[in-house]
Amino acid sequence: MTKTLNNKAWLLVLPVFLIVAFSAVLPLMTVVNYSVQDTFGNNQFFWNGVGWFQELLDPSTDLGGRFFDSLWRTLLFSAIILLIEVPLGIAVALSMPREGWTVALSLVLMALPLLIPWNVVGTIWQVFARSDIGLLGWVVNHLGIDYNYTGDPLDAWITIIVMDVWHWTSLVALLCYAGLKSIPDAYYQAARIDGASRWAVFRTIQLPKMRRVLLIAVLLRFMDSFMIYTEPFVLTGGGPGNATTFLSIDLVKLALGQFDLGKAAAMSLVYNLIILAICWVFYTIMTNVDAQKERAEA
Amino acid sequence: MARITLDHLAHAYKPNPQAPQDYALKEINHVWSQGGAYALLGPSGCGKTTLLNIISGLVRPTRGRILFDDRDVTDLPTEARNIAQVFQFPVVYDTMTVRENLAFPLKNRHVPRDKTAQRVEEIARLLDLTSVLNRKASNLTADMKQKISLGRGLVRPDVAAILFDEPLTVIDPHLKWQLRSTLKEIHRALDITMIYVTHDQTEALTFADKVVVMHDGAVVQTGTPDELFERPAHTFVGHFIGSPGMNILPCRVEGATAYLGNESVALQRGYRSLPGTDRIELGIRPEFVRLQPKGTGLPVRIRRIDDIGRARIARVEMNGRVLAASVPENLSVSGDEAGLHLDPHHIHIYADGHLVAGEALGGHAT
């Protein structure tokens, strides 16, 4: 057998290579380039080596302290979001109707928050939660609770979390609902015959069957909340003080507010690496689940 | 242990059923005796699964009652009935081991642990699952999973009846026989009523002592496999059971003679009081229709001859009607014309699809 060498196929993938190069590789390389340099404006750059990275990863420096503050804030936010939205999403999915005309209705209602542009969500809550003219803020204050998200860090956090729960729980619920729908009726019937309680049905049938979609839901919600920018930016602008300055907001402040391109580039690279690492962990877990399943079916 | 009585049972899935066609299950009265092996046989959508789900309590009937012995259980939920059900697709609890799966119904009923363990061992031995008891149930093959489903039913000491809803659908053909004989052995060993739903006549006829044939929401005949073969009570049964099914030919009957077009066939019984209907049919199984050389019997044209292994079946045409006939071993056919002999002992007459008994021909025959 002779091997036919034909390199024409490269021409066919060339457009894709070019698009990826211009949309991903080149901008990323620019960031890498910035991250090892310093500038004082006038488009003059000086070599700084790994200086920014050293500073960034050392919490005792200004930059490092700021970075780690934002990082912990973001991680805390993601953790809270997951702890609320995943159980709530499962609960909502379990109580959604499974047949009849109410199915379509509830699906549309659930999808509604997902269809609203992110900065509109921010604006809605920005007005809704205002203590002077916002319905929510006004009512809460008139109930005798001192609530002001623009002045009190805790109130700001609560508002952002409630907003995110309102915006994104539907996604978890819809994914779980899809998982639940795929369970054949026979499972529920068998469980009834076996005398299983409601809790046992959830533990032994529904949860195991939802495992895969749940992993996807957790991954999506983690990534989204870890990279959240638009809504808190519109709602609080990262304040009061730095109370709701998450990594993405901090990054924009650094890059576009202070125009510290080198620091911002280093920060965005580290940010990127953290996301990639977590993605990889999730991917490994998911493929492990798949492999287990395959072994089970073999 | 119980006798199961269906008393004027009917079910409709839509609310306010009026006409008979609104009912998925038309009125049925039936007694399943304790320890019997029954098959519910019928094509898809004939209501057999509905009936099964009513017995197990998954569906509440629109009308009528269901009794276990003399106790009315119509309003009792599934878990309160002593019924187990095995479904078409094997249901196992994926996260549990085989042992935990088998113990699950007992655990839910708060049976003491040592008693549960002992019972699980017993059932596992019976079903040949002992060697896999500690394995994850999700890792097993479909037939093993079906055995586990069955085991979850058998493990309950109070179970009166086990219902099977087409349990062999997803099982490999060579394992079907094995699993079916396991079922038969268990039936013999445990004296449990078994009701087996299927659309496969071989499964039904080999499994059951009594077969209930359903068609279009109604029971058309209940009987032993022999009865269903020898005396189908309805043309549907004749056609549905047997392979190929019964030949059904429109005819005209006068006394003890049937007229098929211009040809006449002598009958063994008289039919003087046939119901006044246009639909009179003659039914005879291909096994009792014999192909003969041309010039004898009823003249037919041969369309083709199929060799089905143990016999040859001819498809022949008579007066534009196609029927199946058996070809005797020593008969060699040349050309496409032949004669047909109908065994008069096995001819049945049907009016509007229902078997007409007819009168024995005595001395005063016409």
Q: Does the pLDDT value for residue A1 go beyond 60?
A: no
The residue with tokens 């995110």 is: A164
Distance from CA of A202 to the nearest CA of B (A): 11
Max CA distance (Å), chain B = 79
Domain with CATH 3.40.50.300 in chain B: 4-240
Q: Does the pLDDT value for residue B1 go beyond 60?
A: no
**pLDDT 10s digits, A72-97:** 999 999 999 999 999 999 999 999 98
Cα separation, B315 vs B305, whole angstroms:
6
Residue of A nearest to B53 (CA): A189
pLDDT cut 90: percent of chain A above it: 22
Return the pLDDT at A18.
Answer: 92
Q: Which residues contact B130 (CB under 8 A, 6 or more apart)?
A: B121, B124
Most confident listed range (A88-92, A275-279, B281-285, B306-310): A88-92
pLDDT cut 70: percent of chain A above it: 96
Q: Which residues contact B3 (CB under 8 A, 6 or more apart)?
A: B31, B32, B33, B34, B68, B69
Cα separation, B241 vs B285, whole angstroms:
10
- How many CB atoms lie under 10 A from the CB of residue A14? 10
**pLDDT 10s digits, B147-157:** 898 888 888 88
Measured CA distances, A53 to A25, A259, A261, A270 (Å): 21, 17, 13, 8
Name the least confident of A3-7, A62-66, B211-215: A3-7
Selection from B287, B297, B291 nearest residue B331 by Cα = B291
Return the pLDDT at B362.
Answer: 63
- Chain A hits for B105, CB-CB cut-off 8 Å, are 193-195
Contact indicator for B300, B265 with CB cutoff of 8 Å = no
- Chain A hits for B108, CB-CB cut-off 8 Å, are 194-197, 200
pLDDT cut 70: percent of chain B above it: 98
Return the pLDDT at A77.
Answer: 93
- How many CB atoms lie under 10 A from the CB of residue B270? 19
Return the pLDDT at B366.
Answer: 43
The residue with tokens 């529904």 is: A206
Return the pLDDT at B339.
Answer: 87
Residue of B49, B50, B58 to mutate when probing chain A, most A C-beta within 10 A = B58
Residue of B nearest to A188 (CA): B91
Distance from CA of A108 to the nearest CA of B (A): 27
Cα separation, B205 vs B185, whole angstroms:
16
pLDDT (average), residues B131-146: 86
Distance from CA of B139 to the nearest CA of A (A): 4
- Chain A hits for B104, CB-CB cut-off 8 Å, are 194, 196, 204
H or E segment and range at residue A46? strand A45-47
pLDDT (average), residues B244-271: 84
Contact indicator for B220, B234 with CB cutoff of 8 Å = yes
Domain with CATH 2.40.50.140 in chain B: 249-360
Q: Does the pLDDT value for residue A170 go beyond 90?
A: yes
Burial of B38 (0-12, 13-18, 19+ CB in 10 A): buried
The reply to whether CATH 3.40.50.300 applies to domain B4-240 is yes
- Chain B hits for A201, CB-CB cut-off 8 Å, are none
| Omega before B43 within 30 of 0, i.e. cis | no
**pLDDT 10s digits, B12-34:** 887 777 777 778 888 888 888 88
A51: DSSP letter? H
Confidence band for B11, pLDDT divided at 50, 70 and 90: confident
**pLDDT 10s digits, A264-292:** 888 889 988 998 898 888 888 877 876 76
Residue of A183, A193, A198 to mutate when probing chain B, most B C-beta within 10 A = A193
Q: Is the pTM of this model over 0.95?
A: no
pLDDT (average), residues A161-167: 92
- Amino acid (1-letter code) at residue B73: V
A4: DSSP letter? P
**pLDDT 10s digits, A171-216:** 999 999 999 988 888 898 888 888 888 898 998 889 888 888 888 8
Cα separation, A210 vs A90, whole angstroms:
9
Q: Where are the domains of chain A?
A: 73-297
- Chain B hits for A187, CB-CB cut-off 8 Å, are 91
Cα separation, A233 vs A131, whole angstroms:
19
- How many CB atoms lie under 10 A from the CB of residue B217? 24
The residue with tokens 């119509």 is: B74
Cα separation, B229 vs B219, whole angstroms:
16
pLDDT (average), residues B197-214: 87
Q: Which residues contact A173 (CB under 8 A, 6 or more apart)?
A: A88, A89, A90, A92, A93, A96, A110
ipTM exceeding 0.90? Answer: no
Return the pLDDT at A293.
Answer: 63
Confidence band for B365, pLDDT divided at 50, 70 and 90: very low
Supply A281's token pair: 């962990």
Confidence band for A250, pLDDT divided at 50, 70 and 90: confident
Supply B293's token pair: 């050389």
Beta bridge partners of A209: none
The reply to whether CATH 2.40.340.10 applies to domain B249-360 is no
Max CA distance (Å), chain A = 86
**Mean pLDDT across chain B:** 85
* A134-173 as b/e: b if 16+ CB within 10 A: bebbbebbeeeeebbbbeeeebbbebbbebbbebbbbbbb
CATH of A73-297, one of 1.10.3720.10, 3.40.50.2000, 3.30.1490.20, 1.10.1370.40: 1.10.3720.10
Distance from CA of A233 to the nearest CA of B (A): 44
- How many CB atoms lie under 10 A from the CB of residue A104? 10
Name the least confident of A157-166, A227-236, B65-74, B325-334: B325-334
- The DSSP bridge pattern shows strands B252-260 and B210-215 to be unpaired
- How many CB atoms lie under 10 A from the CB of residue B75? 10
Q: Does the pLDDT value for residue B334 go beyond 80?
A: no
Picking from A184, A187, A194, the nearest residue to B104 by CB comes out as A194
Cα separation, A20 vs A17, whole angstroms:
5
Return the pLDDT at A92.
Answer: 93
**pLDDT 10s digits, A18-63:** 999 999 889 888 888 888 888 777 777 788 778 788 888 888 888 8
Distance from CA of A192 to the nearest CA of B (A): 6
